[in-house]
Structure 1
Amino acid sequence: MILSILLNTVNLFFSILYIAIILRAILSWFPVEARWYWDLVRFLDLLTEPVVAPIRRVLPPAGGIDFSPLVALILLRVIQSLFVQILVALWR
């Protein structure tokens, strides 16, 4: 029961982070002047920059294309999988 709640919480955290990174990448393609848009972009930056910025320092944009969100998604998936496996192993 407790393990299930813990695993669901971990998965929810990573899912929110995945969605935020994807939304941030998509919204960066559309320059919109609406205030709500920029408030949303700032909020997504606040959530995702701690994850994406270190990757961007190692892998700068190439030809105007920033691959750091894609790399971040892959790394987060690996980290999530490892984290879940560790939690399950420790619980036994």
Structure 2
Amino acid sequence: MTYILARAISYFIEIVVTLIFIEALMSWFVRPGSSFYRYYCMLHALTEPIVNPFRQLTSSIAYRTGIDFAPLVAIFALQLLGSVLAKLLLLF
């Protein structure tokens, strides 16, 4: 049972990481008025609650460099969380 739960958490985190990555890529190319903009807005609404806390942590870096590292930090944090949770669940 714990193996199934660990795999489910792992799959969920992989999906969230993929959505964050796709949203970050779309933010470079999709502009208001394009045919993909509504998909970008939906994806942004899904990923923003996860990325926003990291954006607040990295806001000073983004202000100085002009580059938003929040999606990258969120991806690293999610993968770290996923591996820690999986190891903890598999111990029991």
TM-score (norm 2): 0.84
Higher RCO, Cα 8 Å, sep 6+: 2
Q: Name 1:89's counterpart in structure 2.
A: 91
Q: Name 1:34's counterpart in structure 2.
A: 34
The Cα shift of 1:6 comes to 1.3
Identity %: 32
| Structure number with higher helix proportion | 2
Any stretches of 5+ residues in structure 1 without a counterpart? none
The Cα shift of 1:3 comes to 2.6
Is the counterpart of residue 59 in structure 1 residue 61 in structure 2?
Answer: no
Structure 1 letter corresponding to 2:15: I
Q: Name 1:74's counterpart in structure 2.
A: 76
The Cα shift of 1:46 comes to 2.0
Structure 1 letter corresponding to 2:73: V
Any stretches of 5+ residues in structure 2 without a counterpart? none
Runs of 4+ in 1 over 3 A off after TM superposition: none
**C-alpha distance after superposition, 1:50-75 (max 9, x if no partner):** 11101111111242210001111111
